[in-house]
Amino acid sequence: MIKLDSGNVLLKPSHRRQLMAWLRRAIRLGEKLGNLVVSLTLQRIGKQYEVRASVHDSAGNFDCRRRDRDWRSAMRDVVMTLTAKIHTQRLAM
């Protein structure tokens, strides 16, 4: 399950679809682990965007955070980190 809290950032439906496309691999890996819950928070702080992700699954819990000038690059870095960490958890099980 994915929970997205866009905070004070207005995301268009096309942006949400793009985000779900980026998360597709992480979701697939998380389904194999079981009980995957990803909470994404997007906030604008000054001239930067901050993306926070907290992941809870059967292998453990972890958090990721990234700040950048563009929401896409910040979100993309967090998604790549999530995918890598979920993959590592899957290999460890």
Number of domains in the chain: 1
CB neighbour list of residue 40: distance below 8 Å, 6 or more residues apart? 2, 3, 4, 5, 51, 52, 53, 75, 78
Q: Sign of the CA dihedral 39, 41, 83, 25? A: positive
Q: If DSSP codes are grouped into helix, strand and coil, which group holds residue 37?
A: strand
Average pLDDT over the chain, rounded to whole? Answer: 92
Structural domain span for residue 38: 2-92
Tens digit of pLDDT for each residue in 21-70? 999 998 898 888 888 899 999 999 999 999 999 999 888 899 999 999 99
CATH number of the domain within which 21 lies: 3.30.160.100
- In this predicted structure, what is the pLDDT of residue 66? 96
Closest to 23 in 3D by CA, of 10, 12, 37: 37
